[in-house]
Amino acid sequence: MSEAIVASQAPGTDPSVPGASGARQFWRRLRTQRAALVAAAFVALLVLIALTAPLLTAAEGQDPTTYHPALVDSARGGVPIGPFGGVSGSHWLGVEPQTGRDLFARLVHGARVSLGVAFAATLVQVLIGVVVGVAAALGNRWVDQVLSRVTDIIIAMPLMIMALALLAIVPSGFPRPVLVALVIGLVAWGSTAKIVRAHALTLKELDHVAAARLSGWGPWRVARRELLPALAAPVITYAALLVPLNITVEAALSFLGVGVRPPTPSWGQMLTAADVWYQAAPQYLLLPAGSLFLTVLALTVLGDGVRTALDPRAASRLRVGTGRKREARA
């Protein structure tokens, strides 16, 4: 993935995005991609649901942690009582087996945790990656070599194993969602640094950047005034593709029992206890799994649309709803 993004910028070109006119061109290109617009609408709705989760559960009259033992059949092992897993006017999506906790409340609050962890981890990855990548590109040969080798080591480390090790040794009192976001971000910034360094090395050879360096500007002034605005497009593109990846990593860590812990709901943590109920209460498995699948799919489609809109020379990899003919005419 990273190699494709680096290759999308031809050497000797200026990938900077102008202010107002650049934004108008971006939105015009993005509007030609129907799939990306549908994905953006879905992501916006999901974010709105996550932000208003307390209001939604208050409207239902439930919360994600209260047990309702009277709503499950203890004689049958805790299967929800009633049709469709206990769906009713008080429990819009039914209840959780064994505990009777409200599934709608846990699902929308789980969206807050899963999305929050993914966005926070992406922010940490981008910040570290940009700093390391720009420093490697602007530094001398020794600085570049040291930072590049450190980046290679970070990339070579198995993400899941390192995350499992770090999460296992941190005291349990530390807020778990914050910890998961920090661990993912601190372990997985290497690819971002590689991409930023490659773009920054290309930009450093451009006339206006070379003139700024020859005029006596310091490295960080050159980075702030000349490199960072031009790096916005590739960094935003790669960040959009990192968010769905981080959602799946958080879900995998929670599924393995080292991520978000009960009673805090997350989609991965819900899936941990749902695998034995797919026959007796299928909605307990299908709701978090379906939400996770649709969210990752929408974010991936949106990330591809953002990549294509920011770099019109790179054709979208998606065949459905990308509006290639209208984009070519624009």
User: Which tops the pLDDT comparison, 195 or 2?
Assistant: 195
Of residues 67 and 237, more confidently modeled: 67
**Axis-axis angle for helices 228-255, 103-138 (nearest 10):** 140
pLDDT bin (cut points 50, 70, 90) of residue 109 is very high
Dist. CA 272–CA 254, nearest whole Å:
7
**pLDDT at position 313, please?**
62
Cβ atoms 8, 311 nearer than 8 A: yes
SS3 87: coil
Whole-number Å distance between alpha carbons of 270 and 250: 12
Other C-beta atoms lying within 10 Å of the C-beta of residue 18: 10
Task: Tell me the pLDDT tens digit for each residue of 223-257.
Answer: 888 888 888 888 988 898 899 889 889 888 888 87
- For residues 101 and 66, the answer to whether their CB atoms sit within 8 Å is yes
Give the whole-angstrom CA distance, residue 197 versus residue 202: 9
**130 falls in which pLDDT band (50, 70, 90)?**
very high
Structure tokens at 213: 């360096």
Q: Is the pLDDT confidence value at 325 over 80?
A: no
Q: What percent of the chain has pLDDT over 90?
A: 35
Closest CA to 180 of 239, 235, 251, 236: 251
Residue pair 255/123 in contact (Cβ under 8 Å)? The answer is no
Let me know the angle formed at the C-alpha of 230 by 328 and 119, rounded to the nearest 5 degrees: 90
pLDDT digits (tens, 9 = 90+) for 156-200: 888 888 888 888 788 877 888 898 999 999 999 999 999 999 999
Task: With cut-offs at 50, 70 and 90, classify the pLDDT of residue 215.
Answer: confident
CA–CA separation, 94 vs 281, rounded Å? Answer: 10
Render the burial of 266-287: b for 16+ CB within 10 Å, e for the rest: bbbbbbbbbeebeeebebbbeb
Average pLDDT, the chain: 83
What pLDDT shows up at residue 223? 85
Note the pLDDT tens digit of each residue in 42-60: 999 999 999 999 999 999 9
Higher pLDDT, 104 or 280: 104
Q: What is the pLDDT of residues 10-27, one digit of tens each?
A: 344 444 444 556 678 888
The confidence band for 8, taking pLDDT boundaries of 50, 70 and 90, is very low
Axis-axis angle for helices 34-51, 282-310 (nearest 10): 130
pTM above 0.85, yes or no: no
- For residue 17, what are its two tokens? 């995005």
Residue with the bigger pLDDT between 228 and 77: it is 228
Cβ contacts of 203 within 8 Å, gap of 6 or more: 14, 15, 209, 226, 227, 230, 231
User: How much of the chain, in percent, has pLDDT values that exceed 70?
Assistant: 87
> What whole-number distance in Å separates Cα of residue 117 and Cα of residue 251?
10
